[in-house]
A and B are shown apart, each in its own frame.
Chain A
Amino acid sequence: MSTVTDTQRKAPAGERVADWADGRLGIYGLAKANMRKIFPDHWSFMLGEICLYSFIIIILTGVYLTLFFHPSMNEVVYHGPYEPMQGIRMSEAYASTLDISFDVRGGLLMRQIHHWAAVIFLAGMFVHMFRVFFTGAYRKPREINWLFGFLLFVLGMFTGFTGYSLPDDLLSGTGVRFTQGAILSMPIVGTYISMFLFGGEFPGTDIIARFYSIHILLLPGIMLGLVVGHLILVFFHKHTQFAGPGKTNKNVVGMPLLPVYMAKAGGFFFLVFGFIAMIAAIATINPIWALGPYRPDQVSTGAQPDWYMGFAEGFVRVMPGWEINLWGHTLVLGVLIPLVLFGLVLGALALYPFIESWVTGDKREHHILDKPRNAPTRTALGVAWVTIYFVMLIGGGNDIWATHFHLSLNAISWFVRIAFFAGPVLAFIVTRRICLGLQRRDKEKVLHGRESGTIKRLPHGEFVEIHEPLGPEQLHTLTAHEQYKPIEIGPTVDENGVERKPSALQKLRARLSRSYYGEGNQIPKPTAEEYKEITSGHGHH
């Protein structure tokens, strides 16, 4: 961008370095193709960035922690600076975590940044995922990227769980025991998997070292690959955008990658890092020194997993302790059913985009986001899912609810059991009513304008509120969404009079499709004729 026109000048150092690199890496071509790539601007599009940056922070701090952590279950006697553990026998893993907390320079801060970033990473993914869900951003062509994101969330849960277990403290050891119980509840294969995973009977001497490999290599490696794939697909598909004037399914309205987004994203990375570091400097997370080393004969009922495993804990806590004894074999339904539900609840999330596109028959590309209210059935299903999830989180922390709200533990368990069935139904109905109400409001605004708050008194004494007509931009935004027609099974008798019998699956699909787009399940948006008729100047409405 130099304005110097002298062709005889020696190129500046930066240009020479760039030329050198271009000759070997072809960076000019890459830059030309991508530097002006446009990204739309909305705060909710930065939720994914929060996840990405906290993931990077986790990797950076995790590398530091590996320098001092000993993933070994060898027993040692503690003689460090923390007095309440003096002379206690513990695993090397626990002792080295105490050392990281009290001896290593910056160790405690690094541990806390690592753990807080993990809590925030998972929470960020949850919110990011539901931003994508409620705006319909997972529709074609982004279904694969939805699956990538889903896998990142699930792998994040298990990476978090293995990391939480590494210090070999009493809290996480109880969690590992819980997991072993869940594994054992699997019919036939359970005992084999448990013996294989723990290298023998629980707890054995291998599990920490194995979790270490899984936690620092296997799962983060897969996640890193998925993150890269996720970002490449975001680049390739281009970012979605909300409806608005000038925004179509074929363009992206926003700012270029360079310089605007590089600056914003780079700055945001440091804001995220700084903020998480500040949280970590203020608040304790997982004070393992207070918990003591893991011993299978010690336990506390006040043991919970980190929040992202809390719903699984909830399933187990509220499930009645049923079991079946057959021919000398025990099927522990009290744990097996929660394990199956854990898979089903998560699996439903993964499959939803495919289910929806089958129901609606919509195979077109979508780059304009839906407002949640304009897809009432989807929004209501999403809220129903979130309701199940949070009801189970209440179940997972039922002891804290009991002590802090002076409630009976049993009453909470019964509430959660009933709410597991009734909550999502109620949430579905309520959410759909709210969405339809908001659609009506949008229609009203388009046809009659915005309530101005100005009250006018007419000559005959009547008071009316003046409605200001919306500008063309707002009119476009409020009416940009498409409205679908439900799929019909079609005539059951063709033109030649031959009877055609629709399959049960077709009937189901038509019924589901009606529940998405049928009469009463969406408010018909105002047509141009309606608008003209009302705004043509005859009479006040």
Chain B
Amino acid sequence: MKKLSARRRHPLAAVVVLLLALAATGGLYAAFAPAGKAQADDTAQSLAIDEGKKLYSVGCASCHGSGGQGTTDGPSLVGVGSAAVDFQVGTGRMPAQQPGAQVPKKKVIYNQAQIDQLAAYVASLGAGPITPKQSQVDPSGADVAKGGDLFRTNCAQCHNFTGKGGALTDGKYAPDLEGVSPKHIYEAMQTGPQSMPSFPDSTMPEQEKKDIIAYIKTVNGDDSASPGGLSLGGLGPVSEGLFGWIFGLGGLIAIAVWVAAHTAKAKKS
């Protein structure tokens, strides 16, 4: 030992110790690490999961935990499924900007390929609702009238009569559904984001979801007809009353002022 201790101040001593330590850890890991699959998995799915995990570590892990287990700042993502990720990230709600009553819709910062990778990673954490295929959400041929009935029964309480949105308690709200893609509406129903209840296929079959999507697109889409003229936001009597007071009565009072100012004069002025 004396020999060893005499060289402990040798310039290369630290390097040697480091090498020994590394070799020990590496050896121990090789001995005890779980075996996993024997052959290297290089399928597209596993690549997507790997890429997704990288994206996750950068964009999501600070709130949802390094393994999706959740922290005090964000819920666990185990079992939320790829549909939830596709909805939350695809509408820009996630990554959240700041904590608050509700996370708002905002600019989407990932492209669809990245969203799919994130979804694949989160889906790998535990089984959950799966991102729907295009054919599942396509509203063409669906029954609009039945969708309307279903909408009024299940959705109108919070989203207003035609999906214009409404207020919930303490700053939470049900958002306006105008311009939301069929896929995202479907996923929202499937997963129940934030305050929304979920409507899994067991309570609301796929066809009924399509009907609802078709109804929303018909009455609250970009090209919805408004047979009566300006829709005034479609918010009902509050905006109508405001319009009636400001433009209706306001205009008539302006006319009254004009008429009163142009009267027959006894003397020429």
Contacts and interface: CB of A to CB of B under 8 A. Distances in A.
A145 B116 CA distance: 73
B249 A123 contact: yes
B259 A87 contact: no
A85 B148 contact: yes
Contacts of B68: none
Given A119-B248, A286-B240, A399-B166, A84 B219 contact: yes
Interface string B229-259: 1111011111111111101110111011101
Given A45-B260, A300-B166, 20 more contacts: A116-B244, A116-B248, A119-B241, A264-B259, A264-B263, A267-B259, A268-B255, A268-B259, A276-B248, A283-B228, A283-B243, A284-B226, A285-B240, A290-B162, A292-B161, A300-B158, A300-B159, A301-B166, A402-B173, A407-B171
B255 A298 contact: no
Nearest to A123: B249
Contacts of B260: 41-43, 45-46
Contact of A86 (B144, B232, B245): B144
Contacts of A399: 166-167
B265 to A, nearest CB: 9
Given A284-B230, A301-B157, A302-B160, A410 B236 contact: no
B148 A292 contact: yes
Interface stretch (A303-311, A342-350, A485-493): A303-311
* Dominant SS among interface residues on chain B: helix
Q: Which 3 A-B pairs have the closest CB atoms?
A: A307-B241, A284-B228, A402-B167
Interface residues of A, number: 73
Given A50-B249, A127-B249, A301-B158, A43 B257 contact: yes
Interface of A: 41-43, 45-47, 49-50, 83-88, 101-102, 108, 112, 116, 119-120, 123-124, 127, 170-171, 255, 260, 264, 267-268, 271-272, 275-276, 279, 281-287, 289-292, 295, 297-307, 310, 396-400, 402-403, 406-411
A298 B156 contact: yes
A230 to B, nearest CB: 18
B238 A408 contact: no
Query: Contact residue range for chain B?
Result: 35 or more
Contacts of B229: 112, 281-284
Given A41-B263, A43-B253, A120 B144 contact: no
A88 B241 CA distance: 30
A310 B245 CA distance: 13
A9 to B, nearest CB: 32
Contacts of A303: 236
A488 to B, nearest CB: 43
Nearest to B148: A84
Given A268-B256, A306-B241, A124 B249 contact: yes
A131 B266 CA distance: 27
B73 interface: no
B17 interface: no
Contact of A400 (B169, B235, B252): B235
A86 B165 CA distance: 24
Nearest to A89: B149
7 contacts: A46-B259, A112-B228, A123-B248, A281-B229, A284-B226, A307-B238, A403-B166
Contacts of B234: 287, 290
Nearest to A260: B264
